[in-house]
Amino acid sequence: MSLLPRTFRSLRSFNFRLWTAGALVSNIGTWMQRVAQDWLVLTQLTHRDASALGIVTGLQFAPQLLFLPWTGSAADRLNQRRLLMLTQAAMGVLALLLGALTIAGAIRLWHVYLFAFLSGSAAALDAPVRQTFVAEMVGDHDLPGAIALNSTSFNAAQMIGPALAGLLIARAGIGWAFLLNGLSFAAVVLSMVFFRLAELRTSARAHRAGSGFLDGLRYVWIRPDLRAILVMLFLIGVFALNFPIFIAAMAANVFHSGAQAFGFLSSIMAVGSVSGALFIAARRQPGLRSLALAAGVLGLAWTLAALAPGYWWFAAALALAGAAALALTNGTNSIMQLSTEPTMRGRVMALRVGVALGGMTVGAPILGWIAHQFGPRWSLALGACASFSAALVAVYILARRASAAAGAGDF
């Protein structure tokens, strides 16, 4: 089978095509808001304080851990389409309110903290549902390609959104980026309104019976492969996935860039991310070897970024980091969904999202403090160490498998 059909086969689904188009519009708005929010905190609400940016990031991802016992069960038991429409609409309204406060000149740092937590709460419910809903649209056979194309859309938007945000901030003001993001959520909601409901594969979802979150924990605990992946995701999430802190701190405090140059760095990283997503889409199914390779390359990328002598060297390292990070995160997504019973998928994916993004909650204030006290390059060095450690976890599990296979062959 050629590369093109395997990569894009999931687009045969009308619902998935509609979803992808709506998600692209919304993702562009999301990236605009991310850049605008970081720039607002660094340049208007503080004196380039990376610690405050770390707090915002931590509050945004804290709900992934706080609400973990309920988000996975909701993904398994509730109507996923309706739940997604609700969460997307809620995030849109919050973005509009944040934009209105900013344009009115009434925005304060505590407002950003509050909106980060509220938006993160909606996203905590949204994330596991959105990931398992992909299987409902395309089925398990086309799931790896669909996951990769979802990420391709998200990171293609990253090539556009930050650049647009930089231009908009420079010419109209930060608040307009928030308003446009709020309006962009309508694209996803409207796409789901026009779904062909008869084509959704509802059999992939769990029944309403079951004991909930503890079942998900027990299920993962007896699976060494899933445990290893969660450990890798925690290491990466805590210290290596806090891209906004890395990019914003380096742009503002090392290279002394303006808003447009700052936005361009996020767009450059997205070029690498799209490459990583398409690499995963081209593979039939990733394994621990590919995860170990991706984590090692991510460690190398952050090492190069920490040592980068200038803006363009840093941008090149970001492109490599984007490719490795997407290959790693998409790989874990595919492995965990395809190797998990359909009735457990929502809870397992909630654990995956909670560990990765919850790790960012733990790591963001630490990395922000390190960047503020010792310089952004030291926070990047910590990200490199965490990435190499995650690679070693995968290598360890692979070595144990090889040893067990060799032992079995002796009998």
Q: How far apart are CA 239 and CA 228, in angstroms?
A: 17
Q: How far apart are CA 337 and CA 145, in angstroms?
A: 13
What parts of the chain have a pLDDT lower than 70?
1-8, 72, 75, 140, 202-213, 276-286, 405-411
Residue 65 lies in a domain: yes
Length of the chain: 411
Q: How far apart are CA 221 and CA 298, in angstroms?
A: 27
Question: Could you tell me if 222 and 341 are in contact, meaning their C-beta atoms sit under 8 angstroms apart?
Answer: no
pLDDT at 345: 72
Provide the percentage of residues in the chain whose pLDDT is more than 70.
89
Residue 33 lies in a domain: yes
Residue 8 lies in a domain: no
| Both tokens assigned to 222 | 């007896």
Question: Could you tell me if 184 and 28 are in contact, meaning their C-beta atoms sit under 8 angstroms apart?
Answer: yes
The residue type found at 179 is L
- Phi and psi based region of residue 105 (left: phi greater than 0; alpha: psi -120 to 50; beta: remaining): left
Residue 5 lies in a domain: no
Residue 4 lies in a domain: no
Which range of residues forms the domain containing residue 329? 13-202+210-405
For residue 275, give the nearest of 387, 408, 148 by alpha carbon. 148
- Our measurement of the distance from residue 211's CA atom to the centroid of its chain's CA atoms, rounded to an integer in Å, reads 28
Q: How far apart are CA 241 and CA 219, in angstroms?
A: 26
How many structural domains comprise the chain? 1
Widest Cα–Cα separation across the chain: 76
Q: Give me the CATH number covering residue 295.
A: 1.20.1250.20
* Residue 175 CB contacts under 8 Å (≥ 6 apart), including other chains: 99, 100, 101, 102, 103, 104, 107
For 175-204, how does the pLDDT look when each residue is reduced to its tens digit (9 = 90+)? 999 999 999 999 999 999 999 888 887 654
For residue 327, give the nearest of 382, 379, 288 by alpha carbon. 288
Whole-angstrom CA distances from 343 to 83, 105, 126, 349 are 18, 48, 18, 11
Residue 278 lies in a domain: yes
Residue 317 lies in a domain: yes
Residue 7 lies in a domain: no
pLDDT at 4: 45
pLDDT at 209: 47
| Secondary structure (3-state) at 67 | coil
For 120-161, how does the pLDDT look when each residue is reduced to its tens digit (9 = 90+)? 899 888 877 887 788 788 876 777 777 777 777 777 787 788
